[in-house]
Amino acid sequence: MQVHDAEYIRDQIIRRKNAKELIKVVMYISVPQYEEEIQDNENIQKVIEIFKKNNISLQLYDSVAGSYNLNKYWYQTATMNAAVEFDGVYPEEINPEDWAIIHQLEYEGKIIISVYLIDSKGDYIPNM
């Protein structure tokens, strides 16, 4: 897998938007290792800053569906429109330059992201 820059991310969003193929998503973001106070983690602080800058709310949870460790902390995003690709999920609401930073953090293993796809009825779609 390669790390994608803002131009690539922007192109994927535009392509999916023009094809009317954006889909609603909710993301869960955490760190690979167990940390009781993930909000103090420097990489999570970068993520929080990016989401605040782009006016996307985040909420901290101590467990999420499908999580192996029920004590692991995760940030849940608000529902967003996104281009879903095999190499990543690119939210329309977040500036591509900012998302490239998050993409880089995930690529380097500094954060983990779990994505839930949502259909037009508001039901979760299993990832393929």
- Collapsing DSSP to helix, strand or coil, 50 comes out as helix
Please provide the size of the chain in residues. 128
CA distance 116 to 6: 23
For the chain, domains (ranges, CATH) are 6-125 (3.30.70)
Q: What is the pTM of this model?
A: 0.90
**Closest-CA residue to 102 (of 34, 1, 29, 32):** 29
Q: What's the pLDDT score for residue 35?
A: 83
Query: Taking residues 95-122, what's their average pLDDT?
Result: 94
- Bridge partners for 91 per DSSP: 82
Over pLDDT 90: what percentage of the chain?
A: 74
pLDDT at position 110 is 97
Round the average pLDDT of the chain to a whole number and report it: 92
